[in-house]
Structure formats: C-alpha cells, structure tokens
Structure 1
C-alpha cells in the first residue's frame, strides 16, 4: 500500500506544518519521527523548534535566516529517506489508576448539563457507547492493553495516547458538548479515540474515568521519576494502566508526599515491523518486559 503524500502548509511567517496522515497510526507516527529526527540532525540555521504530533509535525523558523521555500525544499527532501525509524528506544510505564474515584465523580456530576447523557456518569456513558454491559467490563478493556503516547502537549506534560488494539476494538467516546471549567489534576480522561492524563487542574472536555496518584508534571522535581525533567512523558512511551482501589491510592499518595514513590518503568526497544506483523504476540512481549525481572 503506497504511503500517503504529506501535505504542507505555512502558518503565518514563522511556521511550517506537515500533515503526514489524516488519521493516527503507528506508521504515520514513525514516519513523522524519522523526518523530524533527520531535520534536527541537519541543524539548519533559522530552525527554532520542531514539534512532533500524532500524525503531523510543525516547525517554527526565523524567516530572516532561512526562507520558507528553502525550508520546505529541505523538509521535502527527507520524505523518501529510510533509516532505522521502525526502531524506537523507549520506556514501558505502569500507571496506577483509581477508576470511578470520588473526586472526578464529584466533578463530573457538577457538569451534567454539559454532557451528552446527563443521566449517566462518564464511565457509564463510555461503557454503553462502546458495547460493554457494565463499567467493570469497560475498565477491564481500558486497562487490559498498553497505550502508545503519540504526543505531549495542550498543557505542560499532558500525554495524548491511543490504545494498541485493532481499530474495531478502539475505545471511542466524544468530548463533552461544552468543556468543563474544572478537571482534577491527574485525571485519566478520554476523547475521540485518544486517552490522556491531565497533568494540572483546569478546564477540559474529555470524559473522566478516574485518577492516578502519580504526578506527571512537577516544577519542583521532587519525585525520583521527575528528576531529569519537570515533564515526565515523552512521545513514544508505552503506558500500561493498572486498576487500584481506595486503599492503595492512599498508600501511593503517602509515598508521593514523602518523595519515596518509585514509578514502575522498564526500558524497551520497540520494533514497529515486528509489532505490525503480530500485534498480540508483541503486546505479550511488552507485558513480559514490564513485569518479568
């Protein structure tokens, strides 16, 4: 199957936008990853920022140092180069989640007038919309397979991720009709086919499924997993959600407050070609790498 042609457009005088694909897919992400890595390696004078997204990337440049057409020509020259971008040295990360917790529940109940189905909670709505008989089955489906972080943004440290399952198994649920003015920090949310973790308290429109006690953004860098950066997640990370109860939530919260919580992570070399050849076996390998010493 031939690759989709990349669509380019300029945003004002200082931005070049490249749409790799109209829909998110791992091949589209890896194609964008390869091109942005190659562009960074060129160290072109005048290129200020290169931002990779789900199935696109954007470049901010100084037009006084590099003309728009020269930059466009340089980027287009990278389209057909092929290196080792089907490999990605990344991390597998276990994120504990207290599903159906009282804090997101209290918040979502305050905003039922902005919801498609005011008589249901967000979990009940998502479960029924995706064909699950109850929220327990939905939570199992949400936490069973790993998720791939395809971009980080919107607010500092917020990861956008999609579940590594066949398209017909993808969880899909629309955002609120009107965004909320409040979302608790570290809420695990979902909108469209993308999951996220709200890194800070604030406005939001994704359905709220639960919360994690683990901070993913910390300007003070007080946690061991945030010593190297105030933002934890990186594009390419693989996330496995693990359901926890109120008791374990409290235990982890205490460890976080003491600066003693150690996030469970494993280094992993992800091979796109091997994953596409046999997704289920490869996901089993991911889980083995995460949980087997």
Structure 2
C-alpha cells in the first residue's frame, strides 16, 4: 500500500494509509502511532489514530515539518519491514441484544429508517443473508472486534470485526440521524460497530445495550480508575450475549461500584491472524476463558 502524507496548516500532518478500511491498514497505522508515542518526540503534542489513517499535531517551533515527516517515513519503513505485532488487551463486553430501550427508541424513529416495517436487527439480519435475528446475533458476537478509533463523543469506540472481508457485517446508517440513542447502545453503521458511551443523537443501527460503563468522569469502577475513557485503539472486544436477569444484576453491581469487565493482556500478530483468522480468534478468546 502507498501511504499519503499531507500537511494541514503549520501544526498537523495527516497520514492516509489506505482509501479502504482493512485490518492490515488499521494495524499498520496502529504500529506506527504506537512507535511514535514510544519515542516521545520533542514537539509532538498529539497523536490521533483512526480507522485507516492517523494525524499528528506538532509544535513547529520545536520540530520542523520536514524533520517530522522524515521521522514518520522512517517509522513506516521500519514497521513495514517486520511482522506487525502489538501488545494489547482483549475485553469481554456483555450485551443484552434486542433490549426494550433501543426497541422503544427505534420504533420512535421508523420514518428515518430504510425499512420502517422491521426492527434494526430484523433489517440487519435480512440484508446480510441470515435467516433470523438469532443467527445474526450469533454472527455479531461470534468473532472479536478491533477498536480502530475512539471519538465522535467522549469514549465512543469504533470497531472493525476480525473476519475475512466477505464475512463482514454491512448495515447502512439510518436515512436521517436520530435525535436520541440510549446510553451504552451497541450500534452498527457500514462495516463498523460502536458503543454509544452517552445518550444522544446517532445514526447507527441499534442492536442492544451493554450494562458496562465505558466513559465515567467520576471513575467509580476499577477498570476506569486509570482514565475516565476505557477504550483505546488496538483493544480487542469480544461481545457476550446475556439475558435480562444478568443485565439487571450487572446494573446493580454498577450502582454498588463493584462491577468489573473481564480484561486480559494479549500479543496480537497480524501475520498469524491472516494465516488462519478463525483459529487465531479462538486462541484469543481462550485467553479470556483461561483466567
């Protein structure tokens, strides 16, 4: 792939790794930005990774634009010449699919939807060739997802499913955005999944809700003690379908401050994944089950 570098004013360099989203484009961007962060370059003030690109903000009084550009190109060559590996985390996220709150919301906004006569899950199942909603949920929760970027609102993760391109779930966004989306909705738009960290406007299809807070300025739960935003690019997410009783129990634990997510460290190899995605995904999930 040919990487394109563009200067934005006198404080930014925007780097487009690929015009199309892919795991190798995302993974290469992640490797480059993590290496840049590790080097603690004087004058680099912000590093913003995205789906298939990244942006660097810098102080031109400390580091000259051409010097930073040369450094980024050097890092690109170095990470491109080796097996792309990152040390990251796998997180199990419980999800109550087909919940009453997103159902009530989606019914209020059917005039903005491509198929007003079906629910978001029914529509997603149909256009992806699944016989029913349960089969679609099994596909959605069956393979891990990479967190490719965090943004839009504070703490919202965009996620890309770790399967071959022909198996990617594809669901268009609403024809017009909603003015309401329940907090912690698990959504999907295009080829990307997300979790709405706060209640607000949105246009992604709504599949369910998680009881797990992922953004909390009060930092009450153990997995949010280090930072109020939980997710970071490179995290791996495994959704776990739960029933209403389990969801209600988790909410009570959130209120009591005792709820926790299952989080395990993993080393991810793109080469090993590409050789056999399904087997590699099973090995990742086994890390969760082993502890």
TM-score (norm 2): 0.95
Give 1:122-133 correspondences, 5 Å limit. 122-133=120-131
Among residues 244, 247, 250, which one is paired with 2:248 in the alignment? 250
Once residues 278 and 243 of structure 1 are traced to their aligned partners in structure 2, the CA distance between those partners, rounded to angstroms, is 25
Partner of 2:136: 138
Among residues 38, 44, 48, which one is paired with 1:51 in the alignment? 48
Partner of 2:75: 78
Partner of 1:225: 223
Cα distance, 1:186 vs structure 2: 0.2
Residues 180-213 of structure 1 show CA distances to partners (whole Å, capped at 9, x for unaligned) of: 1111110000000000000011111100000001
Q: Would you say the 8 A contact 2:30–2:233 is kept in 1? A: no
Q: Would you say the 8 A contact 1:34–1:85 is kept in 2? A: no
Once residues 70 and 265 of structure 1 are traced to their aligned partners in structure 2, the CA distance between those partners, rounded to angstroms, is 39
Once residues 147 and 38 of structure 1 are traced to their aligned partners in structure 2, the CA distance between those partners, rounded to angstroms, is 22
Give 1:39-118 correspondences, 5 Å limit. 39-82=36-79, 86-118=84-116
Cα distance, 1:116 vs structure 2: 1.1
Partner of 1:168: 166
Q: Secondary structure at the match of 2:56?
A: strand
Partner of 2:22: 25
Partner of 1:207: 205
Unaligned runs of 5+ in 2: none
Once residues 87 and 72 of structure 1 are traced to their aligned partners in structure 2, the CA distance between those partners, rounded to angstroms, is 23
Q: Secondary structure at the match of 1:266?
A: strand
Residues 89-121 of structure 1 show CA distances to partners (whole Å, capped at 9, x for unaligned) of: 111111110111111111111111111111111
TM-score (norm 1): 0.94
Once residues 201 and 169 of structure 1 are traced to their aligned partners in structure 2, the CA distance between those partners, rounded to angstroms, is 30
Q: Secondary structure at the match of 1:103?
A: helix
Once residues 286 and 175 of structure 1 are traced to their aligned partners in structure 2, the CA distance between those partners, rounded to angstroms, is 30
Q: Would you say the 8 A contact 1:127–1:135 is kept in 2? A: yes
Cα distance, 1:65 vs structure 2: 3.3
RMSD: 1.6
Once residues 172 and 196 of structure 1 are traced to their aligned partners in structure 2, the CA distance between those partners, rounded to angstroms, is 13
Return closer, same or farther for 1:187/1:54 CA change in 2, 3 Å cut-off: same
Q: Secondary structure at the match of 1:160?
A: strand
Once residues 71 and 190 of structure 1 are traced to their aligned partners in structure 2, the CA distance between those partners, rounded to angstroms, is 36
Which deviates more from structure 2 when the two are superposed, residues 270-279 or residues 135-144?
270-279
Cα distance, 1:42 vs structure 2: 4.2
